[in-house]
A and B are shown apart, each in its own frame.
Chain A
Amino acid sequence: MNAFKRIVTAATAAVCVLGMAACGSGNGASSDTTDMTYPSIELGKTKTDIKATIRVFNHKTDMANDSYNGESWNEYIAEFNKLYPNITVKVETSTNYASDALTRLQGGDWGDVMMLPAVDRSEYPTYFLPFGSLDDMQKEVRYATNNAYEKKVYGIASMGNALGVVYNKKIFQEAGVTEVPKTPDDFIAALKAVKEKTKAIPLYTNYAAGWTMSAWDSYIGGTATGDSKYMNQELLHTESPFADPGDGTHAYNVYKVLYDAVADGLIEDDYSTTDWESSKSKMNNGEIATMVLGAWAVSQIKNAGDNADDISYMPFPITVDGKQYTTSAADYAWCINKDSSVTNQEAAMIFVKWMVEKSGFAINEGGIPTDISDDSMPDIYGDEFKDVDFIEDEPAVDGEEDLFNDLNSDSELAINAGGNARVQAIVEHAANKDESYDDIVKEWNEKWNAALKTEDVDVKYTTVAK
């Protein structure tokens, strides 16, 4: 084995050396770093005479076409050049961005700006230029902690996404539901009205696709608790987190919506053979009233037929102390190559700041703007979200970054980690009436509590983390 390992290692090393010799020579890794920080840039004032050509590598292939129905890359760049005429921006896109970006990152010759790929945080300083300290950046942009390492921010989210429920407005009107339901009971009542008064399927679970079921997990954090510390900090020290808190909030009531909907026959007839692709056009055509999915699904469903205007997004029907919340999370983040020349680093940082503050990119793409002073919201979070608080889940405290993964693994609950089977089981038990919801929850609590014991976590809360 060792000999084999050595051969493989040698071969890999040889390939790498050749690769580096081939591409590395052109760029000449510079160790110089600009003093410029993101907060210090004043667009239109800072270094307007800077002359550089920067390369931007990203995933927005659709925007690379001039025929794109939003704003295309060329339009953005033309707009940017009004302010900074001497910075030439060259855009490269990839349909297979997530893996291409990693390959390019290894190669080193990927340009000056890219969308931060899946790299361990501890690797950030090896590849990227910090935008500024975490404290300063939090005053400038949302989701700053998302791409921070050792109190420095290496990536700025291009936009954010919030969580809610996709629904067909027209069907709700036909069913006589005029107000968006705000509590689980209202929601079930609305689904019942849909079933009685229309032909549409009240709630489409997309059980068979599997991954669509694990979407339910994403609501148990800020959305169901109104607490930005819950998901990554308090939950890790909570005993029996799935038990009934008695006030219509928390995880218990998120999954209960699903259980009740199934038990009351408010879902598709044969859930075991559903098909995700066709469900989108069904919803567009008014055959489906609601689907519990992230905001990303809205544009897909709108585009799946002729009735884009019927499709709308509403907050998850849970109210915490009279107020509704939704968790918003960051999309791909901008980052800058630390090996670019100082001029390019500065030009790149100016470009990123312009994209975040002035371009309107986030709104145009249906996302939440990252710029903290920009309170505008994309169309999909319409009137339904008027009184809803958008909150970000705070990251885990130092030393507990991996604790949630460990608890997930030990308990086999796989929350927010592909726990499809667990959520599917809710549907099965509700449909077959062979296990009550409280028994399901009890089982989960036992598993979770056992995991807390295995990991030696000191329990600070019970069910409701207050």
Chain B
Amino acid sequence: MRENKKPRDWRKGLIIVAFCAIPLALLVFFTYVPFIQMAGYSFYKMKYIGTPKWVGLDNYIQVFTRDDTLSSLKISLYYIIGSLIQLALALYMATVLSFKVKLGNLFKGIYFFPYLINGIAVGFIFKFFYTRGYIFDSVLQLCGFDLNNLPYWLKDQSINNWSLVGASLWRYIGQSVILFIGAIMSIDKSLYEAAEIDGANKWQQFRHIILPGIKTILVLNVILSITGSLSVFEIPYVVTSGANGTASYFVLMDQLAHTSQKVGLASAMAIVLLAIILIMALLQQLFFKFVFRDADDGVAKARKQAAKADRKRRKMAVKTAPIFRNGSKEKAVA
């Protein structure tokens, strides 16, 4: 036995190392090493070709003092609001779809489909979608709107960011829906039955069973959406090429790095954005800890409430049984 065990362990170890080595090597060479190099670039004034010049923290000072860098994060606010709407909608649709719905799978497919389309293609779709007198305007005209009263979806600076948010919402909502459905499916079905027997309506079931049950996924989705909103790129880059007041932080970074060849400054912007995202993620964690402080698990809560109700009922039974045999008090707690 012993003689056999040793070589097998060695082989097992080797296999584990071999399997880990490739993804780890890929991760290190294509993510961490470039990142560290980029962090290095951020201290230089440099173009893609030519000798870099050490400038210390100058690039970082510029990121915080230029009037176009941090203010471009304001554009992200549109996308953050959009992503919250997106999550609410996705949660609603996922909840509906996770119960028995006619053609449920078809709807799941329809919702998820946009996510499968290449982001560049989505950009082009929406470029034409919003073109004056094209698809969107035609549809609205069919609904009785007059073309002259319709705004210019991409030209008007007061709404063009909302148009882009709409495009991004269309694209990413399917992903959220699928993630939510997956989480909802993992909730024990017997909980709904129990709740129904206890007379809970659908909203109460959602509030007390589904929501706490998918807490982790919900938090994850919110973090993903907000970090995604801060680093939004594809949609504004393809649809408007960042023109007309739609240049997000990432689009600006791309312009600085590629058109103006300020590689050092763009690298510094990337590092600053990373810091911002980390801080945001941390704040969100704290926020959700606070929100779910007494609802960390649906089962635990239900059990607690059941115990409470049981105690109360017993107390009631002892105290008031002879007088209120069919009393309304008991009903309320049950």
A271–B127 alpha-carbon span in the complex (Å): 12
Which residues on the B side are within 8 Å of A421 (C-beta)? 241-243, 247, 255, 259
Among the listed stretches B101-109, B149-157, B198-206, B208-216, which one makes contact with chain A, having 4 or more residues with CB under 8 Å of it? B149-157
- Most central of A210, A272, A417 by chain B CB within 10 Å: A272
Contact: A207 with B243, CB < 8 Å? yes
The chain B residue with its CB closest to the CB of A413 is B260
Which residues on the B side are within 8 Å of A210 (C-beta)? 241, 243
Contact: A412 with B131, CB < 8 Å? no
The chain A residue with its CB closest to the CB of B252 is A421
How many B residues have CB within 8 A of the partner chain?
Answer: 30
Contact: B262 with A273, CB < 8 Å? no
Which residues on the A side are within 8 Å of B260 (C-beta)? 408-409, 412, 414
A interface footprint on B253-270 (CB within 8 Å = 1, 0 otherwise)? 001101111100000000
Q: Contacts A4-B29, A421-B255 given: A272-B261 contact, CB under 8 Å?
A: no
Q: Contacts A207-B243, A210-B243 given: A270-B259 contact, CB under 8 Å?
A: no
A275–B258 alpha-carbon span in the complex (Å): 24
Contact: B259 with A273, CB < 8 Å? no
Contact: A272 with B242, CB < 8 Å? no
Q: Which of B22-58 contact A (CB under 8 A)?
A: 29, 33, 47, 50
B interface footprint on A258-283 (CB within 8 Å = 1, 0 otherwise)? 00000000000111110100000000
**Contact residue among B130, B160, B261 (Cβ-Cβ distance under 8 Å from A409):** B261
Return B209 CB to nearest CB of chain A, in Å.
47
Q: Does B229 contact A (CB under 8 A)?
A: no
The chain A residue with its CB closest to the CB of B246 is A272
Q: Does A1 contact B (CB under 8 A)?
A: yes
Contact: A428 with B243, CB < 8 Å? yes
Which residues on the B side are within 8 Å of A363 (C-beta)? none
Contact: A273 with B242, CB < 8 Å? no
The chain B residue with its CB closest to the CB of A423 is B243
Which residues on the B side are within 8 Å of A424 (C-beta)? 243-244
Q: Does B132 contact A (CB under 8 A)?
A: yes
Q: Does A85 contact B (CB under 8 A)?
A: no
A270–B131 alpha-carbon span in the complex (Å): 8
Q: Does B245 contact A (CB under 8 A)?
A: yes
Which residues on the A side are within 8 Å of B153 (C-beta)? 273
Contact: B154 with A273, CB < 8 Å? yes
- Most central of B29, B50, B244, B262 by chain A CB within 10 Å: B244
Q: Does B161 contact A (CB under 8 A)?
A: no
Contact: A270 with B132, CB < 8 Å? yes
Return B254 CB to nearest CB of chain A, in Å.
11
Q: Does A431 contact B (CB under 8 A)?
A: yes
Q: Does B227 contact A (CB under 8 A)?
A: no
Which residues on the A side are within 8 Å of B131 (C-beta)? 270, 273, 275
Return A331 CB to nearest CB of chain B, in Å.
25
A interface footprint on B219-254 (CB within 8 Å = 1, 0 otherwise)? 000000000000000000000111111010000000
Return B199 CB to nearest CB of chain A, in Å.
55
Main secondary structure of the interface of A (DSSP, over half): helix
Return A54 CB to nearest CB of chain B, in Å.
35
Q: Does A420 contact B (CB under 8 A)?
A: yes
Which residues on the B side are within 8 Å of A315 (C-beta)? none
Contact: B154 with A1, CB < 8 Å? no
Q: Contacts A270-B152, A272-B154, A273-B155 given: A409-B262 contact, CB under 8 Å?
A: yes
A364–B282 alpha-carbon span in the complex (Å): 67
The chain B residue with its CB closest to the CB of A425 is B243
Q: Contacts A270-B131, A272-B152, A273-B127 given: A418-B244 contact, CB under 8 Å?
A: no
Q: Contacts A273-B127, A424-B243 given: A414-B259 contact, CB under 8 Å?
A: yes
Contact: A273 with B132, CB < 8 Å? yes
Contact: A208 with B127, CB < 8 Å? yes
**Contact residue among B155, B241, B255, B261 (Cβ-Cβ distance under 8 Å from A270):** B155
Which residues on the A side are within 8 Å of B157 (C-beta)? 428, 432
Which residues on the B side are within 8 Å of A155 (C-beta)? none
Which residues on the B side are within 8 Å of A4 (C-beta)? 29, 33
Which residues on the A side are within 8 Å of B130 (C-beta)? 273
Return A160 CB to nearest CB of chain B, in Å.
27
Contact: A272 with B259, CB < 8 Å? no
Return A410 CB to nearest CB of chain B, in Å.
8
A402–B33 alpha-carbon span in the complex (Å): 31
Contact: B132 with A419, CB < 8 Å? no
Return A103 CB to nearest CB of chain B, in Å.
20
Return B242 CB to nearest CB of chain A, in Å.
7
Contact: A431 with B155, CB < 8 Å? yes
A408–B131 alpha-carbon span in the complex (Å): 33
A interface footprint on B134-172 (CB within 8 Å = 1, 0 otherwise)? 100000000000000000111101001000000000000
Which residues on the B side are within 8 Å of A420 (C-beta)? 241, 243, 259
**Contact residue among B132, B152, B247, B262 (Cβ-Cβ distance under 8 Å from A412):** B262
Which residues on the A side are within 8 Å of B255 (C-beta)? 421
Contact: A272 with B241, CB < 8 Å? no
Which residues on the B side are within 8 Å of A1 (C-beta)? 33
Contact: B259 with A419, CB < 8 Å? yes
Which residues on the B side are within 8 Å of A409 (C-beta)? 47, 260-262
Which residues on the B side are within 8 Å of A432 (C-beta)? 157
A209–B244 alpha-carbon span in the complex (Å): 13
Return B252 CB to nearest CB of chain A, in Å.
9
A408–B255 alpha-carbon span in the complex (Å): 13
Contact: B155 with A272, CB < 8 Å? yes
Which residues on the A side are within 8 Å of B247 (C-beta)? 421
Q: Which of B112-137 contact A (CB under 8 A)?
A: 127-128, 130-132, 134
The chain B residue with its CB closest to the CB of A420 is B241
B interface footprint on A396-418 (CB within 8 Å = 1, 0 otherwise)? 00000010010011001010011
Which residues on the B side are within 8 Å of A412 (C-beta)? 256, 259-260, 262
Which residues on the A side are within 8 Å of B160 (C-beta)? 272
A425–B154 alpha-carbon span in the complex (Å): 14
Q: Which of A379-409 contact B (CB under 8 A)?
A: 402, 405, 408-409
Return A309 CB to nearest CB of chain B, in Å.
30
A4–B128 alpha-carbon span in the complex (Å): 46
Q: Contacts A273-B127, A409-B47 given: A418-B259 contact, CB under 8 Å?
A: yes
B interface footprint on A76-93 (CB within 8 Å = 1, 0 otherwise)? 000000000000000000
Return A402 CB to nearest CB of chain B, in Å.
8
- Most central of A210, A270, A432 by chain B CB within 10 Å: A270
The chain B residue with its CB closest to the CB of A434 is B157
Contact: A271 with B155, CB < 8 Å? yes
| 26 A-B pairs whose Cβ atoms sit less than 8 Å apart in the complex | A210-B243, A269-B132, A270-B131, A270-B152, A270-B155, A272-B154, A272-B155, A272-B160, A272-B243, A272-B244, A273-B127, A273-B131, A273-B132, A273-B153, A409-B261, A409-B262, A412-B260, A420-B259, A421-B242, A421-B243, A421-B247, A421-B255, A421-B259, A425-B243, A428-B157, A432-B157
7 further contact pairs, Cβ within 8 A, besides A208-B243, A270-B131, A421-B259: A1-B33, A210-B243, A273-B153, A409-B47, A412-B262, A419-B259, A421-B242
Instruction: Give 8 closest A-B pairs by Cβ, nearest first.
Output: A270-B132, A273-B131, A272-B154, A272-B155, A412-B260, A409-B261, A424-B243, A414-B259
